Chain A
Amino acid sequence: MTNHWNDIQFSDCILIMGSNPAENHPISFKYVTMAQEKGAKVIHADPRFTRTSAKSDMYVPLRSGSDIAILGGMIKYILDNKLYFKEYMLNYTNASFLVSKDFEFNDGLFSGFDPETSTYDKSTWQFQTDENGVPQKDPSLKDPQCVFQIMKKHFARYTPDKICRIAGMEKSDLLDMYKLYTATGRPDKSGTIMYAMGWTQHSVGVQNIRTMAMIQLLLGNIGVAGGGVNALRGEANVQGSTDHCLLYHILPGYLKTPKAAQQSLAEYNKAYTPVSNDPESANWWSNYPKYSASLLKAMWMNDDPKDSYNWLPKLENGNASQYSWLPMIDRMYQGKFSGAFTWGMNPACSGSDSKKVREGLGKLDWMVNCNLFLNETGNFWEGPGMDPKKVKTETFFLPCASPIEKEGSISNSGRWMQWRYAGPEPLNGVLSDGHYFSELMEEVKRLYKEEGGAFPAPVERVTFDAMYGEHHEFDAKQTARLINGWFTRDCEVKGKKFKKGQQVPSFAYLQDDGSTCSGNWLYCNSVTDEGNKAMRRDASMTPEQEKAQLYPNWSWCWPVNRRVLYNRASVDVNGKPWAPEKPIIAWDASSKKWVGDVPDGGWAPGTRHPFIMRKHGFGQLFGPGRADGPLPEYYEPLECPVESHPFSGQLHNPTAIHFKSEKKSVCDPRYPFIASTYRLTEHWQTGSMTRWEPWLVETEPQMFVEISHELARLRGFENGEKVCIESPRGKLWAIAMVTERFKPFTVQGQTLHQVGMPWHYGWIAPKNGGDSANLVTPNVGDPNTGIPEYKAFMVNVRKWTKEDEA
């Protein structure tokens, strides 16, 4: 989230699209309701009528996967009716930038497409620059090459009639929604978006969110109270686990995983340190070398970062199509891994096409599964269709301490790093995950020391003991200190003297020469000489902070306790808030200081462009970095019920990740229904935790599928009857829940049915609870992130028969 949970109460219009917070983030709805009570309007756009819809002022049904059509149409509506916040758009976004004359867009494809590799050469997507490399601008916005004009032309095709025909929605709904939301383009109004996996889990997931981010930039809704782009994250610490980068493409603090071509730390830093010659661009990533050196130092404390860089594993390329989840599972399925860790995770139920995942686990020589309860991954060898006597995988199950039996911090969706204390002792002395890692690391080190082996240096030299407390064991408090980082020798930075061992006060003091260590620069400032700020429980605020409900002394949030990101965009060039009634920051001219939130850099107003993490300092309406285009474009899901759509001749995202050998259902009469998976209030993710909790199982005991009355009539289903859901990947049973919550969609003159399923179940528990909905989901995904398309695919639903029991 750019903003945080308490901030939602300040919104004037809350668009909830791609999420169901009333059921999946119930406590967040407290703030939606508070906003509503103050007069805000709430719009819920979703294929299914949920409890969120019931509480909203407006419910807009749409066919799963049609989001970019609808949002692209909203951009056209904003541009046609001049509803943008002009001063914000002109000063804070790249609307006026001139794009290269070689940039083209034809019939669903941007310039630079290579059909052989299904990737883009992005060289024509660049800006025209002056002799200093600063982008050329046309503040009149009239130049046909300026972003504003290119956008206008691009979205001219997104007319309400076309959108409604493909999304299966009413034109009046569409226009009412546009009118309501775009009213937040007024300087003193703000609109927010609450989205979750309903947007990300598509082959156009990233562009779904980019389209909305563009709308927010056009309406001046980023950086302000009650605004922003807010991802409602699902796992308690998925924010933190992403910040610490348990992902192939990034290292802690969103640094890049090195590639083979970057053979030295200098080459690596050069590749990822942007250079701007615009004195008004803060270009914060120019500090990259300080963060990379400090990370290396935190991992290998006794070595020069220039040497330890050599020990970081290098990727061949950064492609999600080679290293992300889907290709990783495919690689496992092909027997190319000998071992695997499945730690605090249940991929046998959470991975798309679960049958492939389960079979893939059987191709490993060994697998270590660590969890609170037995789960379908650790016990895969005795699951449905498996003969244990034919499964080679040597399997370990490690029980771990529960979240209340250990201490440590987690980061919520609003980036608050909050400390958890140990209550009960670990059950029968089980270890915490941190202890498991440290004990395994020490044991592997011992083996290398005694026996030697392949390239032992990174293993032998890694300073895991920097995470240990006085008893020479993993210690969360000490690790939190290391993540913040300390000075490794006496030194002077920015006129301040520091002693060796002193905590680094904030990332502004990190160095590129090994004199500082920091496990994650974004968390630098969390544990300083003042103490561990994640532990803070002080609700006091200044009047300005209270007005914005910032709680700056409660826990700590990254970066540097800034509660609302991009907050310099919430004020004009003189530092005056656009919305004086709900300021986030304001410039106090008398003291020459900012009041309110921690500003995005303390420079005086008007002296720096506000989007400091961008090289040029501007919000990117035109975003040349994405794999599938600098502007969003409508494409059908890779499995879809139509042969064409009205926006171009390009049916699918041409760069989407998929496996050519795996069948996809496009207008396949055997799989006529659109399907989507989702979550319930009473269960969580694969259910590996909640399916063992009797109170929760009693409320939601087994797998079901929501089916409209119309589809039930068509197929002769009774409410409560057992039905079979099948796709080219597999099948599973579910209890038919015949409901008003789904209605058929009329798409291009055709009646289409959508069904929906929770994915919380699995064969191990509870008894007769059913199995994972992911047995039918496809292995296709977004080209930028690789996230699978769980939210729009094709299935058949039929009666469950005796033959199916076999």
Chain B
Amino acid sequence: MKIKRRSFLQLGTVATMSMAFFGLGCGKDEVAKVRDKASSFKLAWTKQTTTICPFCAVGCGLVVNTNQETKRAINVEGDPDHPINKGSLCAKGAASIQLTENPDRPSECLWRAPYSDKFEVKPWQWCKERIARLIKDSRDKSFEEKNAKGQVVNRTEGIASMGSAALDNEECWAMQTFMRSLGLVYVEHQARI
């Protein structure tokens, strides 16, 4: 199994050097634009975005700084303007950059053949065609237009869907539309358990 690894330490060195370089000269322009506490934290050479913590549902605000050159996050911290957390975070929120910038994070699709003892790297296009084929075969095989009483039910009980409270709202809606247009009735996720 091959997982692409990045050296976070190396990025850290670059970041420190960049900060030393830009630190004095470019700072002034940014100070002039300060509207709120969050933007006062912005480093000249980063893109600054706001987000919401991905762990519990308190919904704390986070500020993310991204290196414009590498497009990688270099810092995630509490959003001082957010009315709920007002800048503070718990241990998980404070560590949340490691969800994204992590050498153990896989970035390639993996496939395991039946009875194989390993995953193989496969392109997404290949996986997509294969998964769509499997969905169609399962659906075609198990689709019920009518139940035992002769009522129209148009469903498949051959496929189950589990997940996910980790998706954004828009993705949840896409997921439910995907599953229900296929006719799935076994649709469940974390909220149940």
Contacts and interface: CB of A to CB of B under 8 A. Distances in A.
Given A684-B92, A787-B192, A412 B59 contact: yes
A30 B159 contact: no
Contact of A440 (B90, B131, B155): B131
A328 interface: yes
Given A345-B163, A431-B124, A684-B92, A263 B151 contact: yes
Contacts of B190: 234-235, 238, 241, 345, 350, 685
B178 A441 contact: yes
A500 interface: no
Contacts of A27: 58, 60, 84-85, 88-90, 93
A127 interface: no
B183 A339 contact: no
A426 to B, nearest CB: 8
A342 interface: yes
Interface stretch (B13-21, B25-33, B101-109): B101-109
Contacts of B49: 404, 421-423
Nearest to A391: B115
Contacts of B101: 424
Interface string B147-172: 10101111111111111111111111
A554 B153 CA distance: 44
B122 to A, nearest CB: 8
Interface stretch (A92-100, A367-375, A610-618, A726-734): A367-375
Contacts of A406: 168
Contacts of A260: 147, 149, 151-153
A390 B115 CA distance: 6
A342 B162 contact: yes
B188 A311 contact: no
Interface stretch (A37-45, A75-83, A686-694): A686-694
Q: Name B's interface SS.
A: mixed
A373 to B, nearest CB: 6
A243 B58 contact: no
A773 to B, nearest CB: 13
Interface string A395-419: 1111100111110111111101110
A459 interface: yes
Q: Name A's interface SS.
A: mixed
B193 interface: yes
Interface string B134-154: 111111111101010101111
Interface in A421-453: 421-425, 427-434, 437-441, 443-444, 446-448, 451, 453
Interface string B180-193: 11111111111111
A788 B151 contact: no
A667 interface: no
A433 B171 contact: yes
A508 interface: no
B107 to A, nearest CB: 4
B56 interface: yes
B132 A440 contact: yes
Nearest to B63: A423
Contacts of A310: 152, 154
Contact of B113 (A235, A394, A454): A394
Interface stretch (A244-252, A737-745, A796-804): A244-252
B83 A337 contact: no
Given A263-B152, A467-B174, A323 B185 contact: yes
Contacts of A430: 107
A24 B52 CA distance: 17
Interface in A560-605: none
Given A390-B115, A399-B108, A313 B155 contact: yes
Interface string A311-326: 1111110000001110
B87 to A, nearest CB: 10
A408 B59 contact: no
Interface stretch (A58-66, A213-221, A381-389): A381-389
B43 interface: no
Interface residues on A, range: 35 or more
Interface in A297-350: 299, 310-316, 323-325, 328, 331-332, 336-345, 347, 350
B34 interface: no
Contacts of A692: 98-99, 102, 104-105
Contacts of A389: 115, 117
Contact of B169 (A5, A24, A403, A410): A410
Contacts of A702: none
A404 B48 CA distance: 11
Interface in B46-86: 47, 49-62, 64-66, 71-73, 76, 81, 83-86
A716 interface: no
A47 interface: no
B50 A343 contact: no
Contacts of A370: 163
A682 interface: yes
B115 A476 contact: no
A247 B187 contact: yes
Contact of B168 (A394, A420, A440, A443): A420
B168 A372 contact: no
A237 interface: yes
B71 A244 contact: no
Contact of A26 (B90, B169, B182, B187): B90
A25 B106 CA distance: 29
Contact of A336 (B4, B95, B154, B157): B157
Contact of A786 (B91, B140, B173, B192): B192
Interface string B105-129: 1111111111111110000100111
B57 A232 contact: yes
A270 interface: no
Contacts of B161: 246, 340-341, 343
B100 interface: yes
Contacts of B152: 260, 263, 310, 314
A352 interface: yes
Contacts of A421: 49-51
Nearest to A332: B160
B176 A368 contact: no
Contact of A246 (B53, B113, B163): B163
A423 B182 contact: no
Nearest to A325: B192
A523 B188 CA distance: 21
A585 B187 CA distance: 39
A313 B58 contact: no
A699 interface: yes
Nearest to B116: A388
B151 A314 contact: yes
Contact of A681 (B91, B124, B172): B91
Nearest to A238: B165
Contacts of B64: 404, 423-424
Contact of A695 (B47, B76, B98, B192): B98
Given A341-B160, A447-B133, A695-B95, A396 B111 contact: yes
Contact of A24 (B56, B130, B154, B181): B56
Contacts of A347: 162
A311 B56 contact: no
A482 to B, nearest CB: 8
Contacts of A416: 59
8 contacts: A30-B85, A382-B117, A402-B100, A420-B168, A444-B135, A482-B173, A520-B173, A694-B98
Interface of B: 4, 47, 49-62, 64-66, 71-73, 76, 81, 83-86, 88-93, 95-96, 98-102, 104-119, 124, 127-143, 145, 147, 149, 151-193
Given A234-B57, A341-B159, A396-B109, 18 more contacts: A30-B86, A30-B88, A237-B166, A237-B169, A238-B57, A240-B165, A241-B172, A243-B169, A244-B169, A246-B176, A247-B192, A324-B192, A331-B186, A388-B116, A406-B168, A443-B128, A692-B98, A696-B91
Closest A-B pairs by Cβ, 7 of them: A412-B59, A408-B168, A344-B164, A343-B163, A313-B155, A235-B165, A454-B143
